[in-house]
Chain A
Amino acid sequence: MHKKDGDQDEPMVIGSATELMFPATRRSFVRTLLAGGTVVMLPSVFGACERREITIPGYDGPTDGPDPVTGVSFDLRSDVGIFRLLHANEQLEAAFYTAVVSSAAFSSFTADEREVFVDLRDTEIIHREFVRTALGSQALPDLRGSINMTTLNSILSSKASIIASARLFEHVGVAALNGAGKYLQDARNLLVAGKFASVEARHAAALRDMAPPAGVNANTSFAGDDIIDGTGRDVKLEAGAVLAKLASTNLLLAGTLAAAPISNAPSAAQGVATADFFPVNP
């Protein structure tokens, strides 16, 4: 759409054979080849995956479960690409809260805490399904087959680690939306992103209020000085930093998300990058 010098610098990545079923991917594939660009076919395009019995607590899909996927990439030069990033985030959040609500540790939560987590689960499922529907054929594959069960089980082992992880996810969500809004090109899509963003901010505040990070004042934690800067502005992350944060949680198996530089940065015509603002321990 905004063809600029350097568009062909990065290899186009085909993560799965089905991507070639999508007209846009095919067109881009052909264009890249014509332009002498590089196309990377990840092993999974040709390698048949074993289907696996799904073992994610609370998993609500078919019993044989989705296949693990690899090399999921994001072309952030379009609204579709930015919504794909959002889809990854919402999938992880929905899978996480679904697992939390059906975990053994959940019975140790107070009634108030359970209310919050059920609300979070329900909302993130709505978000996940909404973004998936909006993206249609461009939606990400089901990532639940790519959940790293070692990481998930470790998080689910205690209330403290569940809440700390939830705080991290919600803050990544807020920061991602706050950073990505300026790159969207259509006002209707920006409005939808805004509708999500304030809801994620409500989550973030409720979780911090329920259980503040160590050393943070309980009465101001909902919007503490560690997450709101000196100009009264909330956390924000550029898209690349969001992907890095998601990868650093290890909640997805290694290789699920394509490594940089495959995840393209938004083009300069879309918006101006700004410094990230995110605490070590949200």
Chain B
Amino acid sequence: MQQSLLEGIDPEIMDEVVSRRDLFRRGASMSRMVAQGLAMGSVPVALAALAKDAFGQAPADVLDVLNFAFILENLENEFYKAVLGTSALAAQNNAFTTVRALIPASARESLGQIQKHEQQHVDFLKAVIPQFGGTPAAMSAADFDFTGGNGSGTGPFARATTELNFLLVATQAFEDTGVRAYKGQAGRLLINGNNNADIALESALRIHSVEARHAAKIRRIRRGINPTDTTLRLSGYVRGGGAAAAGAGNIANPPAEVVAALNAIYGGATSESNTQHVVFNGTSAVTIDAATLSNLDVIGDSTARTNAATQAFDEPLTKDEVIAIVRNFIKDDAARGLP
């Protein structure tokens, strides 16, 4: 794959790429802006300058992924601000007044830390996208409907504004959607021999693992409130797939649309319950079933081994799957660049 990609490139361009890289290594091509960025310890400035120095323009795939991530990060950020009562829009804050009073102080502090990261992700992407030749979508608190009603304000997730368990399921589902979305897009950033893509990929992976930390913490908060629900692993894992993997048993009579959403969030073409994974060993692609490996006896019986095999791998969602999940939370999808 890599070879064919590189072989397909004009040798003169390759020479240019290589010489630029050599310059890079020596630091000779480091522009004043990169140097200033590094000196200030400002990663976005240095990163952005570096990207521009290298090629000026990122491949369309990289920009598309960054724009997509920007929309998702705005959704998460504005959601937490509304929950915590720090949204710029009073109506969003007011919607969550009832449930806000039910959140324990310790969990509120944890949600505050998560919101801080989502804001940082928004700011980071906003700073980086223009340097890759793009324009970040203009988004504000008014663009979102956290009830999943596509603007009606009365969608199937409306109970998240009044019930703590419901709110936390929705929060966990947002985070796990984020984890799965980044995982699904990482491959599009893998463009060997492209500095821009390398930098975007590393940043995406580093944001991806932060989202996983958030999801793990929400699960632990939920388990603390519902100590007997062992679906909510204290290790923060996703065990199994579909709505069952959400651990939504503590919600009375969940609306069918919410169950369907959770099925989509923890299911999909590659469900979280998947145990078959493909590796390319340099010669051929090999599918390995993680549930039937050797030397698993210490784990226990076949149920224990299957549980371990599903929780040991988080799975991706495709871009289309993610869009189908989030579209009802974002008003005027088409205008937001969503199909």
Contact = CB atoms under 8 A, between A and B. Distances in A.
A78 interface: yes
Given A1-B2, A129-B293, A135-B281, A201 B213 contact: yes
Using C-beta atoms within 8 Å of the partner chain, give the interface range for chain A: 35 or more
Interface residues of B, number: 88
Given A186-B2, A187-B187, A58 B298 contact: yes
Interface of A: 1-2, 4, 58, 60-61, 78-80, 83, 98, 112, 115-116, 119-123, 125-127, 129-130, 133-136, 138, 174, 177-179, 181-182, 184-192, 194-206, 209-210, 217-220, 222-224, 228-236, 268-272, 274
B210 A202 contact: no
A201 to B, nearest CB: 4
9 pairs of A and B residues whose beta carbons are closest in the complex: A232-B120, A185-B2, A202-B236, A198-B212, A187-B187, A233-B206, A201-B209, A205-B213, A201-B212
B198 A182 contact: yes
Given A119-B233, A194-B314, A219-B106, 19 more contacts: A120-B235, A123-B235, A126-B293, A126-B296, A129-B295, A130-B312, A134-B286, A177-B209, A186-B1, A190-B190, A195-B183, A195-B316, A198-B183, A198-B208, A201-B208, A201-B209, A205-B214, A217-B109, A219-B110
A232 B121 contact: yes
Given A125-B295, A133-B293, A116 B234 contact: yes
A129 B294 contact: yes
B235 A195 contact: no
A130 B288 contact: yes
B183 to A, nearest CB: 5
A189 B280 contact: yes
B36 to A, nearest CB: 16
Contacts of B202: 178-179, 181-182, 236, 274
16 contacts: A120-B235, A122-B307, A126-B299, A129-B293, A134-B279, A190-B190, A191-B278, A196-B312, A197-B209, A204-B213, A222-B213, A222-B217, A232-B119, A233-B124, A233-B207, A269-B192
Given A187-B1, A187-B187, A219-B110, A205 B121 contact: no
A206 B224 CA distance: 13
